[in-house]
Amino acid sequence: MEEKIIAIKMVIDAWSSGVAKMKTILSSLSDEDFENSIGNDKVNYIIAHLTAINDLTIEVLGIGEINNMNLYNYFKVYETKLPLPISNKELLKLWTITCEQIDLKIKDFTPDDWFGKHTAVTIKEFNKEPDRNKLNVLLNRSHRMATAVGQLSLFNKSKS
């Protein structure tokens, strides 16, 4: 049982570290920065995609519903010429809301909760692949956030 608790702590710490790094980066961006690009992606697209993933995570972890279905649907049927369905100000607010919702709810999870199935997998699939659990969802979201932190750090470095 102790190994499970250690694994859970490691994943939550990775998540929390990513959120803290993103907060630092987001606070350094100007309104103009959101419209600039790093590689093929606009800064606001990177942030919006990460926010939509966080929003979906709330539902997948079974701790609430998607807050902004328009943003979720945008990435489900994304076409490069469509503008984001949310302003940069609303995007930052939604980013904060989704992180806070996740942080608040995961504190109540037990080890059994963490190693239990998430809502995007059937019982049959979960029984076959028990690694498709809530802890793995947060681990994958933490990895995705680390990628965004890297992209946005490169953008900030290119501004200097």
- Residues near 46 by beta carbon (within 8 Å), at least 6 away in sequence: 38, 148, 151, 152
pLDDT in tens, 21-63: 999 999 999 999 999 998 888 999 999 999 999 999 999 999 9
| Class at the top of the CATH hierarchy for domain 2-11+44-77+85-159 | mainly alpha
What global pTM score does this model have?
0.92
Expressed in percent and rounded to 5, the helix, strand and coil fractions of the chain are 70, 5, 25
pLDDT in tens, 6-21: 999 999 999 999 999 9
